Amino acid sequence: MKLQDKIALVIGASSGLGRASAEACAAEGAMVVLGDINEERSKAVIEGIVAKGGKAKFMYTDAMKEASIVETIAAVAKEFGRLDILVNSAGAPTAADEAGWHFQIDMYLKAPYFACREVLPIMEAQGGGSIITIGSLSSVTGSLAQKIEGTGYPAAKHAVLGMTKTLAIANGKHNIRVNCVCPGYIKSELTRPLYEAEDGGAKLINETLKVPLRRWGEPEEIGKVVAFLASEDASFITGQAILVDGGFMAR
């Protein structure tokens, strides 16, 4: 129970990597607040956490709205008196057009920025904390966008890693660690069309991408890394891009 008595807020926790992160933190003893727009799915996550002896609750949080993020973080701090762990994991599919470009910047860069901005004073006042943002392979390499409107995702993911490193440098003196988990090809809502292909996505993984471990990653494999980074086991890790990609970027 490496996160016993810790308070964790996971933004984007009702499915995918956010859900896995919430479940992993709860399994290690944290009280987890699920910040999401989907209350029904979040309640299902909470039921699973509670059934395993964990603690969790839902707070409506729209990652696309600054005021909603501000309200949630203030509410968590007021209710629990502290906020030890922030996980930025909101995400949603969108079209590769101009509107989609702006959507991705708002979702993957502005939302983590607003959340970090609000939580940093709380963590500084309480003597420390851990911020973890879900990045991507697109945080560290170019994406396969075919036109300029498709650059929103890699632009945001690159930028959020830059923000991670900068905040880690600025806030190390306050015992606040800031890291970015960069998943490879993981089974999630965003990749469902790929791994639900007739061959289960095997050709993509083994022939096109040549992932050394020769399989898709599971959301739980990201959640466990998030829980590790949130714990004191990672007490000397900050400002890092932690690649969880089956060896893809080793080439």
Q: Which residues are catalytic?
A: 153
- The distance from CA 112 to its chain's CA centroid, rounded to whole angstroms, is 9
Q: Is the dihedral of CA 131, 136, 138, 143 positive or negative?
A: negative
Buried b (16+ CB within 10 A) or exposed e, 154-175: bbbbbbbbebbbebbeebeebe
In 3D space, the residue among 17, 32, 124, 106 whose CA is nearest the CA of residue 69 turns out to be 106
In 168-224, DSSP assigns E strands to 176-183
Q: How far is 95 from 48, CA to CA, in rounded Å?
A: 32
Residue 184 tokens read as 């490879």
Taking the C-alpha atoms of residue 2 and residue 245, their distance in angstroms, rounded to an integer, is 25
